[in-house]
Amino acid sequence: MMAIAPVPRPPVIRLSFRLGYDLSSRLIAWWGQAIGGWSHVAAMLPSGELLDARSDKLGDVPAGVQIRPEALEPAKRTALVELPGGDPVAWEEWLKSKVGARYDDAAIVGDIVGRQFHGKGRWICSALQTQALKHAGLIRNLPMSDSLVTPDALYLIVTAGLGGKIVRTAGH
């Protein structure tokens, strides 16, 4: 009897929304939505690793835009969203081209005080993922700068606006 080869899965765009345990994560989640908010968003690569922008070093992986094992990113709650359509190859290539970029601390301060302090070539998590979705052809026009998009706003954009499907959740 011949074994049936598995059908290869086509590339897909996946975003991991996360709520961290620390106080700064709780404040970001509260600021974005109050109860039930997200503090972070990362791209989940086909390897299962996360590509994101973080202000902190995790394990041996420095701050900024990096590829990290998912196990290094502790979370109280997560939701993995798969997006239909778009160009997953362009999405992944663009994200990987940003690895090594610095975290945009100034954008966070700007968000808090209501001013635009985005540092050129620097990224916060949700701005990085918003721009990547633009490169994938999924987002065309937003009425605000990418650096003002919170993880919660992006969650609403990808689930309600772009038809993303929640394929995995964990935590409470």
pLDDT in tens, 56-82: 888 899 999 999 999 888 888 899 999
Q: How far apart are CA 122 and CA 163, in angstroms?
A: 29
CATH of the domain at 163: 3.90.1720.10
Task: Give the closest residue to 81 by CA, choosing from 123, 122, 38, 124.
Answer: 38
- The whole-model pTM stands at 0.86
| Contact assessment for residue 133 and residue 86, using Cβ atoms and an 8 Å cutoff | yes
Q: What is the residue range of 90's domain?
A: 13-171
- Is 5 a member of any domain? no
- Number of separate domains in the chain: 1
- Is 64 a member of any domain? yes
pLDDT in tens, 108-165: 655 665 666 666 788 999 999 999 999 999 999 888 888 788 899 999 999 999 999 9
